[in-house]
Amino acid sequence: MTITDISHRKMFPARGNVYLPHMVVINKIIDEAPDVRTFHFNFKDKALSEKFTFESGQFGEFSVFGHGEAPFCISSSPTRPDHLECTVKRTGRLTNALHRLSVGAEIGFRGPYGNGFPLEELKGKNLVFVAGGIGLAPLRSLIWNVLDNREDYGKLDIVYGARSPADLVYKYDLASWQKDDRFNMAVTVDRGDEKWQGTVGFVPQVLEHVAPSAQDAVAVVCGPPIMIRFTFPVLDKLGFTSEQMITTLEKRMKCGIGKCGRCNIGNIYVCRDGPVFNYQQVMDLVSSEY
């Protein structure tokens, strides 16, 4: 095994220095769920906006100057290049600082980093999207990407769940996807409230009930580790092979480019070699620290 070749990836280093952030401006903020906000942003440099491209599943390093940097996936689709989006849960110093900002604020962005979803391999396949909580963010980029090229793909299923109705993110997307007869969607919550009339139950159980066929299919799973852990056995039962299950891994990151060290699982760096892996690749890792 040698290091993964990533020379084909598009890079947009500012002034040729990979650590320098580009300035971006927040032009819309959406409250998604308690402590979860989506930020829409654009590059200050119009020329860069024109040439910037990314793949669904890639992420960026976001700066709130004075507070540092953190990685978030780009949750908008490259098929809708008008602006970029990221969805952030408030959990620590940087995310708190980000949540305090309002429209018009300037933040830093470098990227895109990581491998992204293997779009070419997904073409022609039936796709099963399985997401939990804010794990829908990277999948949302892929879902819009697929919907904007609908004819390239087969049957589509989405199983999405959150702890409570309030914790469901992208409610505006869910509403429009629910009405869309081009795919089958199941939304569930672990625990309902007085207004909730939808399904109640954990994502893996609902997935088992929906029972999508494994024939010519690929399942893309994103969510909290506990959900992922219980989802793989269900997919296995439904006949999905480990190559037919794709997920994204999450680790603490700083540099985003495989140098600062902390996101390693054995000999791979999640930021550089991932964050998207199929389940076979995950099982083949030297370490089970995922």
Partner 1 sequence: MADSKKVRKEDLAGLLTEWSRDYAVLAPSRADGVARMAAWDGEDISFLDWYRNTINPVKSLFLPPVEEMFSISRNERGHRIELPPKDDTGCLVFGVRPCDARSLILLDVVFEDAYEDPYYLDRRRRSIVVGLCCTNPCDSCFCTSVDSGPAATAGMDIMFTDIGDNLLVEGISRKGKELVAGNATLAKATRTDENRARKIRLAAEKKITRKIDTGDSKERLLAVFEDESFWQQVSAKCVSCGVCTLLCPTCYCFDINDAMTGGEGSRCRSLDSCAFSSYTKMPMENPRADKWRRVRNKLCHKYEFYPMLFDNIACTGCGRCIRLCPVNWDITQVLDSLPAKHESKI
Binding partner 1 by CB under 8 A: which of 219, 257, 276, 282?
257
Distance of alpha carbon 74 from alpha carbon 250, whole angstroms: 14
Structure tokens at 133: 């909580």
Neighbours of 85 (CB within 10 A): 21
Considering the complex, state which of residue 23 and residue 200 has its C-beta at the smaller distance from partner 1: 23
**x/- track of binding to partner 1 for residues 88-127 (CB under 8 A):** ---xx-------------x-x-------------------
**x/- track of binding to partner 1 for residues 168-187 (CB under 8 A):** --------------------
Beta pairing, strands 264-265 & 217-222: unpaired
Distance of alpha carbon 125 from alpha carbon 155, whole angstroms: 8
* Segment interacting with partner 1 (CB under 8 A) among 13-21, 77-85, 115-123, 207-215: 13-21
Beta pairing, strands 268-269 & 264-265: antiparallel
53 sits near partner 1 (criterion: CB under 8 A)? no
272 sits near partner 1 (criterion: CB under 8 A)? yes
Binding partner 1 by CB under 8 A: which of 34, 81, 233, 266?
266
Nearest-approach distance from CB 14 to partner 1, in angstroms: 9
* Segment interacting with partner 1 (CB under 8 A) among 7-15, 168-176, 185-193, 203-211: 7-15
27 sits near partner 1 (criterion: CB under 8 A)? no
Query: Side chain identity at 182, as an amino acid letter?
Result: R
279 sits near partner 1 (criterion: CB under 8 A)? no
265 sits near partner 1 (criterion: CB under 8 A)? yes
283 sits near partner 1 (criterion: CB under 8 A)? no
Give the 3-state secondary structure of residue 107. strand
Give the 3-state secondary structure of residue 177. helix
Considering the complex, state which of residue 6 and residue 185 has its C-beta at the smaller distance from partner 1: 6
Distance of alpha carbon 169 from alpha carbon 30, whole angstroms: 10
List CB contacts of 145: < 8 A, sequence separation 6 or more.
Answer: 56, 77, 78, 79, 119
**What kind and span of H or E run contains 21?**
none
**Rounded to 10 degrees, what is the CA torsion of 261, 267, 273, 279?**
-130
Contacting residues toward partner 1, per CB under 8 A: 1-3, 6-7, 9, 11, 13, 15-21, 23, 44, 63, 65-69, 91-92, 106, 108, 224-225, 250-252, 254-255, 257-262, 264-267, 272, 286-290
